[in-house]
Amino acid sequence: MTDRYAVIGNPIEQSKSPLIHTTFAQVTGQDIDYIKVLGPLGGFAQTVDAFRASGGRGMNVTAPFKLDAFAYATDLAPSAQMAGAVNAMKFVGNKVYAENFDGVGLVRDVVHNLGCDLQGRRVLILGAGGATRGALLPLLVEQPSELVIVNRTVAKAQELAALAQQHQTGQVPVLGVGYDVVQGAFDVVLNASSSSLTGELPPLSASVFAPGCLAYDLTYGKGLTPFLQLAQQAGVTQLADGVGMLAEQAAEAFAWWRGVRPDTAAVIAKLTVPLV
């Protein structure tokens, strides 16, 4: 019988997950069905219960339900615990296993797809919300020389820096600062704030971009965002948005569900929106 999977969100029309997972299924020869589910606000648990009762094997979770999924899970992976949010669930009997693959997807894209080694490099990440929280441990595993979190609300950046320091096994210095005190230039600058969703420019000095650095915006499909424009004007030539992260987090979920990891190149090529 064909195994059933879905992505749940509200709204859900925009989701690329069905396209991504059906492409993965084709290239790996897996027999799955993957649909979009519009979850009613306040009705997450009932909707997931119904999907499980109909034979559903797993779900991706998108806004605004990542915290509902966190509460719904019976078994939270360390990645989900650290992120404080869930983006993939696997149903086995009464168990709901939950993961968050966003951070690992980001790092895989940066290191493997874009060929940007993080070890020994200075990394700056903008924002101190859920996206940054999920990225912290996967970034630290790569052993950058330093990780700086910059946020408008400085206390949130400091809080995340302290959390990361507590959980990492290595000795990478992690700092939480405000935009007015970011010091020096960075080899990798990641925009994990939600500024690009509203078309805003974070109050970032162009001097943060080191020669040869990578400027990466975690949002997807918004073209040359104000953050990427700032980087380009500062002379940065390696610019990327979150299309690779989207594909890589999906590949992680697919591998977790199906035991086979699909190649992401075809999906990335299909979904890439030019950075203009």
Sign of CA dihedral 59, 251, 144, 193: negative
Do strands 95-99 and 122-126 pair parallel, antiparallel, or not at all (unpaired)?
unpaired
The length of the chain is 276
Q: Tokens in use for 21?
A: 């997972």
Residue 13, classed as helix, strand or coil, is coil
Please give the residues from 156 up to 185 whose contact with ligand ATR meets the rule CB under 6 A.
156
Span near ligand ATR by CB under 6 A; candidates 69-77, 145-153, 233-241, 262-270: 145-153
Q: Which of 46, 145, 153, 237 binds ligand ATR (CB under 6 A)?
A: 153
Nearer Cβ to ligand ATR (25/82): 82
Q: Which of 52, 152, 167, 222 binds ligand ATR (CB under 6 A)?
A: 152
Q: Which of 194, 229, 232, 272 binds ligand ATR (CB under 6 A)?
A: 194
Q: Which 8-state DSSP code applies to residue 112? A: I
| C-alpha to C-alpha distance for 141 and 105, rounded to whole angstroms | 13
Q: Under the criterion CB under 6 A, does residue 84 sit at the interface with ligand ATR?
A: no
CB atoms within 10 A of CB 199: 9
Q: Tokens in use for 140?
A: 């630290």
Span near ligand ATR by CB under 6 A; candidates 18-26, 114-122, 187-195, 261-269: 187-195
Q: Which of 129, 165, 255, 272 binds ligand ATR (CB under 6 A)?
A: 129
Which among 58, 18, 57, 16 has a CA at the least distance from the CA of 35?
18
| C-alpha to C-alpha distance for 69 and 100, rounded to whole angstroms | 11
Q: Under the criterion CB under 6 A, does residue 202 sit at the interface with ligand ATR?
A: yes
Span near ligand ATR by CB under 6 A; candidates 4-12, 181-189, 190-198, 256-264: 190-198
| C-alpha to C-alpha distance for 124 and 232, rounded to whole angstroms | 17
Q: Under the criterion CB under 6 A, does residue 130 sit at the interface with ligand ATR?
A: yes
Report, as residue numbers or ranges, the catalytic residues: 66
Q: Residues 62-66: contacts with CB within 8 Å, 24+ apart?
A: 62/7, 62/8, 62/9, 62/12, 62/15, 62/17, 62/87, 63/9, 63/10, 64/9, 64/10, 65/8, 65/9, 65/10, 65/39, 66/100, 66/130
Span near ligand ATR by CB under 6 A; candidates 5-13, 52-60, 128-136, 158-166: 128-136
Min dist CB 128 to ligand ATR, Å, is 4
Shortest Cβ contact with ligand ATR: which residue? 129
Min dist CB 153 to ligand ATR, Å, is 4
Q: Which of 83, 131, 161, 245 binds ligand ATR (CB under 6 A)?
A: 131
Nearer Cβ to ligand ATR (130/244): 130
Residue 215, classed as helix, strand or coil, is strand
Q: Under the criterion CB under 6 A, does residue 226 sit at the interface with ligand ATR?
A: no
Min dist CB 156 to ligand ATR, Å, is 5
Q: Which residue in the block uniquely carries the two structure tokens 């797809």?
A: 113
Min dist CB 178 to ligand ATR, Å, is 9
Nearer Cβ to ligand ATR (134/244): 134
Interface contacts to ligand ATR, rule CB under 6 A: 127-131, 151-153, 156, 193-195, 200, 202
